[in-house]
Amino acid sequence: MRKVLYIIIALVVFALSVNGQRRNTIALQVSINQIEINYQRNIFTPKIWGEVYVGLGNQDITNSFNDIITGIRTGANLISKGKNIIAVNTDFGIYIPNNSLYNATTPIVGAGIRYIRTIGKQNKHTLFVSTGYRYGQKDYKQRYNSDIVSVESIETFKISPVYISIGYGFSFN
């Protein structure tokens, strides 16, 4: 648990230390398999952004939202017209299933596309839809020992590769 806390702190420090363009967004993103809280900040130019996220997932055998997911995303706005933005992003993260039967901390790599719609007179609120592909897979061992028999098996933990999520964000300077 301490490692997860150190990783989260390091990612937040990274996001806060980049040279931004006065645009920060805090967002809540929900999909079938996970719930995330994101902190996004423009980096280098107003069209390129970095994002730190942390959340809960439900992709192991318990099928409840008790797994931890954290990582960073970088993205670029491809099309921006009025209050509509289409952006592409890359995703690097860690998925940690909360299961007493095995330990399968899984690295995640992904790419996606995001449609963003700003709302309100001051453009402080955003609604967005994201879709993309994530790859995360890890082999793990399970052992069972008793007086009579000892059984060991090697299994593979995989996250769902295709995701679709919706979200709400609040922007501030």
Measuring CA to CA, how many Å separate 109 from each of 34, 74, 85, 95? 16, 12, 23, 11
Q: Which residue has the tokens 């809280």?
A: 37
Which CATH class name applies to 2-172?
mainly beta
Q: Where are the beta strands (DSSP E) in the chain?
A: 24-31, 34-42, 48-57, 67-81, 84-96, 106-119, 125-135, 137-145, 150-158, 162-172
Supply the pLDDT for residue 19: 42
3-state secondary structure of 107: strand
pLDDT in tens, 77-131: 999 898 999 999 999 999 999 887 778 899 999 999 999 999 988 888 999 999 9
Domains of the chain: which residue ranges?
2-172
pLDDT in tens, 28-87: 999 999 999 999 999 888 889 999 999 999 988 777 899 999 999 999 999 989 899 999
pTM, to two decimals: 0.80
Class of residue 8 by CB neighbours under 10 A (exposed 0-12, middle 13-18, buried 19+)? middle
Supply the pLDDT for residue 45: 84
Determine the average pLDDT of the residues in 1-26.
Answer: 63
Residue 134 token pair? 């994530």
Supply the pLDDT for residue 126: 93
